[in-house]
Amino acid sequence: MTHSAGPVLEFRDVRKNYGALDAVADVSLAIATGEFVALVGASGSGKSTLLKTVNRLVEPSAGTVLFEGLDVATSPLPALRRRVGYVFQSIGLFPHMSVSENIAIVPRLAGEPLSSDRVGELLELVELEAEMRSRMPDELSGGQRQRVGVARALAGEPHLLLMDEPFGALDPLTRNALGERVRRLHKRFDLTTIMVTHDMAEALLLADRVLVMDGGRIVADETPQALLEGAGGRIAQGMVAVPRAQAEKLARMSR
């Protein structure tokens, strides 16, 4: 698959309903190569559902999702999932598989097993020691597991990296370190990245572009700078107010 001239990812009038509930409503959006996008919103606003339409964990009720110009609905699934790295909301490692088996699972399912050297390389990318490869997930800390999750998502040499609240369950220091690691990997591998988070501070600090979701819709699409300058509307500004108030309070305390 080659990069097309258009956006890496495009949602065209995407809707997903569960009975009367529109989990995702009328989302139209294009994401360009190299963007690091944060998708922010309250719990239940539709972030996970929207993300999952990309790798077909969720089939839209209406509309089209295009990845590198091709409708994902008609793309062969193993190849699609190889090109679209996905870090799950809950840690999502297979508990009965070792670290190296977890990392290698997606390429293996696509019929392209990973070499042991490549597993070592992936461990190094996420700053895990080589001897971790034979551990089982329950022998790792939360941060180490999430690093394995990122290594697994990178294993297929994806063009697009989707992360669903990847660091939500981690302590702030680990979370910060992993966020910066992912940002560096994004740059190094020319990835396009979408990171779901409910934390506006994390979004403002890491992303080039922030999408705000509410009730299944995208209600703001702004740069962090523009959000900090007051753009994006009421819901976005309500979310920006939280880290801003914290930052101001800390600044006052340190004077």
Where on the chain is the footprint of ligand ADP (CB under 6 A)? 18, 21, 23, 41, 43-49
Taking CB under 5 A as the binding criterion, the range among 13-21, 29-37, 43-51, 141-149 that sits at the site for Mg ion is 43-51
The partner in contact with residue 102, picked from Mg ion, ligand ADP, none with C-beta cut-offs of 5 to 8 angstroms by kind, is none
Q: Given candidates 45, 48, 192, 197, which one binds Mg ion under the rule CB under 5 A?
A: 48
The partner in contact with residue 45, picked from ligand ADP, Mg ion, none with C-beta cut-offs of 5 to 8 angstroms by kind, is ligand ADP
The partner in contact with residue 120, picked from ligand ADP, Mg ion, none with C-beta cut-offs of 5 to 8 angstroms by kind, is none
CB nearer to Mg ion: give 41 or 158.
Answer: 41
**Minimum distance, C-beta of residue 217 to ligand ADP, in the bound complex (Å):** 12
**Minimum distance, C-beta of residue 85 to Mg ion, in the bound complex (Å):** 17
CB nearer to ligand ADP: give 51 or 150.
Answer: 51
Number of residues that bind Mg ion (CB under 5 A): 1
CB nearer to Mg ion: give 48 or 144.
Answer: 48
Counted residue by residue, the chain has a size of 255
**Minimum distance, C-beta of residue 167 to ligand ADP, in the bound complex (Å):** 15
Taking CB under 5 A as the binding criterion, the range among 3-11, 40-48, 144-152, 166-174 that sits at the site for Mg ion is 40-48
**Minimum distance, C-beta of residue 198 to ligand ADP, in the bound complex (Å):** 8
Task: Report how far apart, in Å, the C-alpha atoms of 219 and of each of 92, 96, 125, 185 are.
Answer: 29, 41, 35, 29
**Minimum distance, C-beta of residue 52 to ligand ADP, in the bound complex (Å):** 8
CB nearer to ligand ADP: give 33 or 61.
Answer: 61
**Minimum distance, C-beta of residue 45 to Mg ion, in the bound complex (Å):** 8
Taking CB under 5 A as the binding criterion, the range among 45-53, 125-133, 171-179, 180-188 that sits at the site for Mg ion is 45-53
Token reading at 223? 């740069």
SS (H, E, C) the chain: CCCCCCCCEEEEEEEEEECCEEEEEEEEEEECCCCEEEEEECCCCCHHHHHHCCCCCCCCCEEEEEECCEEHHHCCHHHHHHHEEEECCCCCCCCCCCHHHHHHHHHHHCCCCCCHHHHHHHHHHCCCCHHHHHCCHHHCCHHHHHHHHHHHHHCCCCCEEEEECCCCCCCHHHHHHHHHHHHHHHHHCCCEEEEEECCHHHHHHHCCEEEEEECCEEEEEECHHHHHCCCCHHHHHHHHHHHHHHHHHHHHHCC
Q: Which residues bind Mg ion (CB under 5 A)?
A: 48
